[in-house]
Amino acid sequence: MNRKKLQKLTDTLTKNCKHFNKFEVNCLIRLFYNLVGGVERQGLIIGLDRNAFRNILHVTFGMTDDMIMDRVFRAFDKDNDGCVNVSEWVHGLSLFLRGSLEEKMKYCFEVFDLNGDGFISKEEMFHMLKNSLLKQPTEEDPDEGIKDLVEITLKKMDHDHDGKLSFADYELAVRKETLLLEAFGPCLPDPKVLIARWNLKLKYSKIQMNSMICEYLNVYIVSKRSWMYIEKSLKLLDFL
C-alpha cells in the first residue's frame, strides 16, 4: 500500500473515531494489514475472517468461550459480510480498548442478545450460562442449577418484571453494579490482559509476533508510556 493511500485511509478513519489519535489509527491500520497479510487489491475486499479474528481474541485478549467469541466477531462485523475489514477493525478496537461505559453497554447487550430481537430472553441466558456451573453428577437435573442461576439473574436485573431483559433493564442494572456489564460471559478484554505485560518473552514465530505487536499496542494504548515499544514493533512490522 502506498503512503498516500494509507494517509488518506488514516485521515478518514481518524475522523470517525473518537478514542484514537491519528498516530494510533495509523498503527492499527498497519497492524491490520500485517495481520491480514496484504493490502486490498482492486475491488477485492479483504479482512480478518472468523477464525483469524477468533485467534486474535483468544491470544491477545484472553477470551476462551467459543460462543462468546463468535458473538464478538458478529459485533465487530457490522456489515455482516463474514469478515472484519479495516474500518470495522479500528472501530471495534476503539470500543474494546477505550470505549466509554455507554458504548460498552451497547456493545455487550448486542453480544448477549443472541437473536437480535432487542431482548435477552431466558432461553438466551440459559444458552449463555449453560457451561458456567460445575456439573454435579449426583444431581438429578443437571440443568437445575443453571435454571436457578437464570432466575437469580432475572431477579437481579429484570426491573420491569417481564421475564426478559430489555436494554433499559440491563443499563439500569449495570449502572448500579458495573460488575454486571459482562453478566453472561466475558466479551471485553480481560482487565488483567490490558494491564502491562512487560514480562512476555519474545518468540519469533509469525503468529506470536503478531500477537506480540498487539500486546505492545495494548500496552501503549492503555498506558501511554511505551512509545519505544511501539516504534520497535513497527520496525518489526516492516520485517514481516
Q: Which residue has the cell 479500528?
A: 90
Pull the grid cell for residue 122.
Answer: 431466558
Pull the grid cell for residue 45.
Answer: 475486499
Note whether 155 binds other proteins by CB under 8 A.
yes
* SS3 assignment, position 83: strand
Q: Are 17 and 200 in contact (CB under 8 A)?
A: no
Which residue, 2 or 138, has its beta carbon nearer to other proteins? 138
Beta carbon of residue 195, minimum distance to other proteins (angstroms, whole number)? 5
CA-to-CA distance for 90 and 58, rounded, in angstroms? Answer: 18
Note whether 152 binds other proteins by CB under 8 A.
yes
Which residue, 31 or 146, has its beta carbon nearer to other proteins? 146
Note whether 21 binds other proteins by CB under 8 A.
no
The pairing of strands 83-84 and 165-166 is: unpaired
Residues 131-150, one symbol each (x = binds other proteins by CB under 8 A, - = not), give: xxxx-x--------x--xx-
Cα maximum dimension of the chain: 66
Which residue, 16 or 178, has its beta carbon nearer to other proteins? 178
Which residue, 9 or 68, has its beta carbon nearer to other proteins? 68
Q: Which of 28, 180, 214, 221 binds other proteins (CB under 8 A)?
A: 180
Which residue, 6 or 145, has its beta carbon nearer to other proteins? 145
Report how many residues bind other proteins under the rule CB under 8 A. 33
Alpha helices of 177-205 — where are they, by DSSP H?
Answer: 191-194
Note whether 107 binds other proteins by CB under 8 A.
no
CA angle 107, 110, 111 (to 5 degrees): 90
Q: Is 116 left (phi over 0), alpha (psi -120 to 50) or beta?
A: left
Note whether 172 binds other proteins by CB under 8 A.
no
In DSSP terms, 84 is beta-bridged to 48
Q: Which of 80, 179, 198, 235 binds other proteins (CB under 8 A)?
A: 179
Pull the grid cell for residue 59.
Answer: 491470544
Beta carbon of residue 47, minimum distance to other proteins (angstroms, whole number)? 28
Q: What is the chain's alpha carbon radius of gyration, rounded to the nearest angstrom?
A: 20
* SS3 assignment, position 40: coil
- Which residues from 182-201 bind other proteins, rule CB under 8 A? 182-186, 188, 190-192, 195-196
| Binding site residues, other proteins, CB under 8 A | 100-101, 104, 128-129, 131-134, 136, 145, 148-149, 152-153, 155-156, 177-186, 188, 190-192, 195-196
